[in-house]
């Protein structure tokens, strides 16, 4: 099969490939009925994230408050794991720094919210890049906050996303 997206991925079982195909179909169709029928919280979160990103990219104002909470928290988690929370706070969504604190609290990530609040408090008030005015002490604090956030102080984020989405299913 020439167009097989799984060519070269011989380590994947057929079951894994089918789950990915199913998830991709849910995202393509924005099939919320099927989305909520996914039993694996990781698959659920990945599909939901992809749907929200697609909607946001088409029209950033198209997300309602519940969707925006999930969208921002998922992006922050990605930043914390791939780069740093500074990527989210200063590069990706600097205009959402106050909203992300609310969003984390909304989904039940209270400890994470406190960490991000402390990180925001370290940022320059004039919006300049953190490292332009930071000192060794503030950089150590920021690194610790980044590490603390990345250690999932509230537990598994995919479980929090699922619980929040289930609670607000009609608005998702």
pLDDT tens string 118-159: 999 999 989 899 999 999 999 999 999 999 999 999 999 999
Q: What is the CATH number of domain 14-171?
A: 1.20.1420
Asked if residues 78 and 109 have their Cβ atoms less than 8 Å apart, the reply is no
Contact (CB, 8 A) for 129 and 90: yes
Name the token pair of 135.
């000192």
pLDDT for the residue 122: 96
**C-alpha–C-alpha distance, residues 51 and 53, integer Å:** 6
pLDDT band for 1, please (50, 70, 90 cuts). Answer: very low
Where along the chain do its domains lie?
14-171
In sequence order, what are the residues at sequence separation of 6 or more whose Cβ sits closer than 8 angstroms to the Cβ of residue 169? 36
Give the pLDDT score at 23.
82
pLDDT of residue 24: 83
pLDDT for 11 beyond 90: no
Q: Pick from 66, 46, 67: which is nearest to 56 by CA?
A: 67
Tell me the pLDDT tens digit for each residue of 62-91: 999 999 999 999 999 999 888 899 999 999
Query: How far does CA 57 lie from the centroid of its chain?
Result: 15
Residue 95 has pLDDT above 70, yes or no: yes
User: Could you report the per-residue pLDDT of 52-62, keeping only the tens digit for each?
Assistant: 999 999 998 99
Tokens matching residue 109 = 């990530």
Pairwise CA distance, residues 63 & 73, whole Å: 14
- Residues 58 and 34: their CA atoms lie apart, in Å, by 22
Under a CB-based contact definition with an 8 Å cutoff, are residues 115 and 82 in contact?
A: no
């Amino acid at each position: 099969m020439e167009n097989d997206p799984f060519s070269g991925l011989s380590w994947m079982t057929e079951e894994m490939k089918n789950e990915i195909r199913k998830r991709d179909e849910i995202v393509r169709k924005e099939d919320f009925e099927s989305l909520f029928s996914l039993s694996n919280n990781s698959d659920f979160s990945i599909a939901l994230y992809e749907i929200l990103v697609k909607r946001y990219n088409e029209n950033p104002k198209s997300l309602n408050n519940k969707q925006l909470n999930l969208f921002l928290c998922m992006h922050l988690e990605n930043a914390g794991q791939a780069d740093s929370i500074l990527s989210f706070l200063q590069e990706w969504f600097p205009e959402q720094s106050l909203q992300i604190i609310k969003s984390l609290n909304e989904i039940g990530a209270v400890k994470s919210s406190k960490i991000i609040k402390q990180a925001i408090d370290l940022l320059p008030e004039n919006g300049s890049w953190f490292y332009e005015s930071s000192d060794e002490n503030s950089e150590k604090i920021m690194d610790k906050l980044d590490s603390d956030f990345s250690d999932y102080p509230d537990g598994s984020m995919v479980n929090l996303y699922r619980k929040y989405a289930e609670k607000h299913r009609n608005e998702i």
